[in-house]
Structure 1
Amino acid sequence: MTIRDIARESGYAIGTVSRVLNNSPNVSAAARTRIMDVVRRHNFQPNVNAKHLKLQSSFGIAIIIKGIQNMLFTGILEHMQSLVEAHGYVCMPYYIDEEANEVEQAMLICQERKPHGIVFLGSNLDHFSDDLAGLGVPCVLVTNSAASLDLPNLSSVSVDDAVAAASMIEFLYAQGHRRIGLIGSNPGISRPSFARLAGCQQTFLRLNLPFDPSKQYAYARYSMESGYAAMEWLLKHCPDLTAVFALSDLMAVGALRALKDHGLRVPEDISVAGYDGIELGRYCIPSLTTIRQNTDRLASRGIEILLHCIEENSSAVHEIVPFELLQRESVGLAHS
């Protein structure tokens, strides 16, 4: 008798059986009674104890995180881990380079660990294909929309990056800024950067603002160090900028330091805005104006959707989460 046998005989999902065996409160009385009847009838005894059962690798949810320095993902991951464990599963995080192929990693994980579901934090949609559908495992992409892929086992929860980025350009424009530089990842490999850049470019065009990507868009990885280098590149190639919009807060923090080191004041000489809303931005000097992604909502909906797909064989869901533009000290009126 195994946990799978109990699930089959009781008529409940494996996850529900695990929650009963681990004394989780997130189970209905009817389910608990039915499952425990099966357990007692077969005198089922988990190996050592229920905790040991929970830790079996074949009973986990894998979370693949792209990039090791992305503080936005750190907050989402922490919330997801608590939710996964509260529902009787074990969380298996895997960190990969931000330029690595996350679907290849998922295939390896399925071969070695046989998880019940996979969460992708960060992604390059070019990597997603029918190979993912062939895994037969429910997946959810968080912080990026997978609606356009139409893969039957891939759900997604995200902010509308293009709309959010456009709102920041509109805000900078309202503050009088007409020469705006951008710092972001390579849009060819980062779908969020692609969508955010598209939102910015559409708004530049609509507002009749000049934008030469060869001079006003600096490439960076998701790190403060890379944001620092990108800001220096912008100062060299487009010294008349009055504002910079970094497509992640970590890049923006690096840009703030670079400007300080070059003797420029923020926001008196140049304004800086970020994207993500990580806690670090609150404590910068000046505090960082940014687009805040609701990490609690992204995490909770991502796990809820995945569990419905695992336990109830639900269809893929694609959900958009609202964002918030936080007006702080790092953006001021454009200088004349």
Structure 2
Amino acid sequence: MPAPLEPRYTLKDVVDRARVAISTASLVFSGKRPVAEPTRERVLEAAADLDYGGPNPLASSLQQGRSGIIGVFAKGRLMNSFSDPFAVSILDGLAQHLGQNSAGILLMPAQGAGQDELVRRTAGIPLDAVVFPLGGYVSSALLEHLRHRRIPLVGTGYPEADDVLHLRMGERGAARAIAQHLYDLGHRDVALIQLPGAKPNAQGDVMNPEALDRTAGFLEVFPDALVITAGESSSEGGYEASERLFSDSHSVTAIAAQSDLMAVGAVRSIRAHGLSTPADISVAGSDGIDLPWLVGTLTTIDQRGQEKGRTIADMVTSALAGTRENREHSFTLVQGTSTDAPPQHAHA
């Protein structure tokens, strides 16, 4: 049988033991103003005797109207956010900037439970603001709950709502830039590996609307491109999608993937079939993550993840200070060694 919990002493208990005013004890722990050394020592000795570690910072901050907690909703499973270097770079930039402003992030799943359950979980958390730095689907019930709390909401294009501030990059334009690059190199037979969640589910919800935007931009240049939806946004997902191309005997000279990890998977698949990149098949990605273990360099869209995270955090701190504004985030097409002109025999 577990031992009973020891009583949790409060600042009032310390005050009674040290025989000082509660305001005096508060000053000892906050350090905002000096306290006579004998009095300070008496308060700290009383706290040590009671094993009291100091006032609850959450309770103290709530008295000031702030919890210091910024909710970060991730699309899909939380594990995916930690396994994707691009997602990690955004979260890193977000956490760094918020940390400099005495706030921290609480990573929360936007999916995986019923709508009522997500709302119930969220309702018990004192949030100063909520961000959706990785986009994706957000249930209407959860969004309505957050909206009623009248806290700043910041996204990267999704969820779509007038009261959600957005840092927009232009997913369609970025995908179009990659497609135009391949077209200018001379490619005409191309395939696109699409991120999962682009197709509506049984309820008609699109879990990854960014994927649809990227696909639309790519198809503006290659309307007849073969589109394959990956099972997951990972190297394994890209590999499996590329293998489907080979198993169905599709002949392409270039593959564009909607994430760098999926592009790496496509490169692996191409090599497994005794072919090379870009001599036989060019490959392009999107995100701009660091791939030091990849032979050569990947042609991609550099989104500068850390900078994106810092900008989102700055939008949050500005909104909390009373300045609400949407912002634009630029991208850069980076041409690596993974794309080149199609082989001469391709259109012979």
Query: What TM-score range do you get, normalising by the shorter chain?
Result: 0.7 to 0.9
Over alpha carbons, which structure has the higher Rg?
2
Task: Tell me the equivalent position of 2:15.
Answer: none
Structure 2 counterpart SS, 1:182: strand
- Shift in CA distance, 71/245, structure 1 to aligned 2, threshold 3 Å: same
C-alpha deviation, 1:108, in angstroms:
4.2
CA distance in structure 1 between the partners assigned to 2:270 and 2:301 by the alignment: 21
Return the match for 1:195 from 213, 229, 235.
213
1:90 partner letter: G
Letter in 1 for 2:289: I
Change (3 A) 1:131 1:113: closer
Question: How many angstroms does 1:296 deviate by?
Answer: 2.8
Paired residues of 2:70 and 2:103 also in contact (CA < 8 A): yes
The Cα offsets for residues 283-319 of structure 1, whole Å up to 9 and x where unpaired, read as 4113211001022321121011111222x2333x322
Q: How far has the Cα of 1:48 moved from its partner?
A: 4.0
Q: How does 1:1-336 map to 2 (within 5 A)?
A: 48=53, 53=57, 58-66=67-75, 67-68=80-81, 69-94=83-108, 96=109, 100=112, 107-125=119-137, 127-128=139-140, 129-141=143-155, 144-146=156-158, 148-150=160-162, 152=163, 154-185=164-195, 186-188=197-199, 189-205=207-223, 210-211=224-225, 215-237=226-248, 239-280=250-291, 282-310=292-320, 312-315=321-324, 317-336=325-344
- Change in CA separation of 1:287 and 1:116 when aligned onto 2, cut-off 3 Å: same
Aligned partners of 1:304, 1:190: CA distance in 2, in Å? Answer: 25
Distance verdict in 2 for CA 1:155–1:103, change over 3 Å: farther
Structure 1 residues 278 and 91, CA gap change in structure 2 (3 angstroms): same
The aligned counterpart of 1:27 is none
Listed one character per residue, the Cα deviations across residues 183-240 of structure 1 (whole Å, up to 9, x for unaligned) are 11232321211110010112224xxxx33xxx44233311111111001012233521
Distance 1:322-1:22 versus aligned 2 partners, 3 A rule:
farther
Amino acid at match of 1:149: A
Contact 1:222–1:250 at 8 Å: present in 2 too? yes
What is the CA distance between 1:64 and its match in structure 2? 2.2
> Distance between the aligned counterparts of 2:114 and 2:252, measured in 1?
36
Separation of aligned partners in 1, 2:305 and 2:318: 20
Q: Give the fraction of aligned pairs with identical amino acids, expressed as a percent.
A: 23
3-state SS, counterpart of residue 149 of structure 1: coil
Change beyond 3 A, Cα 1:102–1:290? farther
SS at match of 2:264: helix
Does structure 2 retain, via aligned residues, the 8 Å contact 1:231–1:258?
yes
Report if aligned partners of 2:154, 2:166 keep a CA contact under 8 Å in 1: yes
- Structure 1 ranges of 4+ moved more than 6 A: 54-57, 101-106
Q: How far did 1:255 drift?
A: 1.1
Q: Offset of 1:126 from its aligned partner?
A: 6.0
Which letter maps to 1:255?
A
- Whether the 8 Å contact between 1:147 and 1:156 is mirrored in structure 2 is no
Which consecutive residues of structure 1, in runs of 5 or more, have no partner in the other structure? 3-20, 24-35
Distance change >3 Å, CA 22–CA 262, structure 1 → 2 = farther
CA distance in 1, matches of 2:169, 2:246: 30
Amino acid in the other structure paired with 1:85:
G
2-structure distance, mates of 1:102, 1:271: 42
User: Please, what TM-score do these two structures have when normalized by structure 2?
Assistant: 0.72
Amino acid at match of 1:325: L
Q: Give the number of aligned pairs.
A: 284
Give 1:90 shift.
Answer: 2.7
Structure 2 residues not aligned, in runs of 5+: 1-10, 12-28, 45-51, 200-206
Over the aligned positions, Cα root-mean-square deviation in angstroms equals: 3.3
